């Protein structure tokens, strides 16, 4: 079964007036990881799709109406990271096993994609991102050990973290989609700090490894007009190009970042000075 919803773009001037529930309605994706369902959110920021597939039984990827396509990947590429039990993704008859935190890139033009779990009692939980694609590149699996790893931050500033670049130039060739996973060290709680904006790309964060009864406060908005959204495990949040995207947890945690837009330059960002945030 496939379910989807759409989110329209909001201007920064409009978002200044949103209350808590309006912010959550516009930017929080809180219906992911439903058993035996594919759940997708279609964002009008760069036509990005974020979603999940939890195959207790095999699940076949189907197109959705906003795409106006004969099949989902007719004009799109896709990135997948497994955050559950072991499983596999079958692409045009070729099976790609994915263990916990393994990633898969699927190029456009692939008609048949099927999600499978090795154990229905401990199903795979596939987190999905997708963006429009102008050409087709090969399907590639990237395990967590194969990621390009960056060590950033420090314990003294509570943001010591490992950035695992997985679906990104130098590791996988894509049209515009980029994905990776940032793991915070014990004792660190801040991600992506100092914060930044990149007006040429939108981004979606998906939070995981949040311990029970803990949470992450995600910060968004223009640097001088910030807002926050409290988030739980396996929830995602949409970040417009004009918005910062940063968070602080009540414990350490992991988040998956995915983005698309005008270019593939990972370092194309405008850093916001911490003491100038408002």
Which has the closest alpha carbon to 141: 189, 176, 184, 90?
A: 90
Euclidean distance between CA atoms 191 and 200, whole angstroms = 21
SS3 call for 104: strand
134 is in an annotated binding site: no
- How long, in residues, is the chain? 278
Q: Is 74 left (phi over 0), alpha (psi -120 to 50) or beta?
A: alpha
Asked if 199 contacts 243 with a C-beta cutoff of 8 angstroms, the reply is: no
245 is in an annotated binding site: yes
Asked if 150 contacts 50 with a C-beta cutoff of 8 angstroms, the reply is: no
44 is in an annotated binding site: no
Q: How far is CA 131 from CA 75, 128, 205, in A?
A: 9, 10, 15
196 is in an annotated binding site: yes
Could you list the residues known to form a binding site, using ranges.
196, 198, 203, 245
Could you list the residues known to form a binding site for Zn(2+), using ranges.
196, 198, 203, 245
């Amino acid at each position: 079964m496939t379910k989807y919803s759409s989110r329209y773009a909001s201007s920064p001037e409009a978002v200044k007036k949103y209350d808590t529930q309006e912010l959550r309605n516009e930017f929080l994706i809180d219906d992911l990881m439903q058993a035996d369902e594919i759940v997708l959110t279609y964002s009008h920021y760069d036509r990005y799709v974020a979603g999940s597939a939890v195959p207790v039984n095999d699940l076949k990827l189907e197109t959705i109406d906003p795409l106006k396509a004969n099949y989902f990947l007719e004009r799109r590429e896709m990135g997948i990271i497994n955050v559950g039990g072991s499983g596999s993704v079958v692409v045009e008859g070729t099976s790609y096993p994915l263990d916990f935190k393994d990633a898969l890139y699927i190029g456009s033009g692939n008609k048949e994609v099927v999600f499978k779990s090795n154990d229905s009692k401990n199903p795979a939980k596939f987190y999905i991102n997708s963006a429009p694609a102008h050409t087709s590149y090969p399907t590639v699996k990237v395990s967590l050990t194969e990621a390009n790893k960056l060590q950033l931050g420090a314990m003294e500033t509570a943001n010591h973290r490992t950035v695992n670049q997985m679906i990104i130039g130098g590791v996988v060739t894509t049209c515009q989609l980029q994905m990776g996973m940032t793991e915070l060290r014990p004792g660190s709680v801040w991600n992506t700090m100092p914060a930044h904006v990149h007006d040429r790309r939108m981004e979606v964060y998906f939070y995981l490894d949040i311990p029970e009864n803990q949470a992450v406060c995600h910060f968004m908005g223009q640097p001088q007009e910030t807002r926050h959204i409290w988030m739980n495990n396996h929830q995602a949040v949409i970040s417009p190009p004009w918005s910062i995207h940063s968070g602080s947890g009540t414990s350490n945690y992991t988040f998956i970042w995915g983005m698309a837009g005008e270019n593939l330059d990972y370092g194309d960002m405008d850093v916001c000075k911490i003491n100038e945030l408002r």
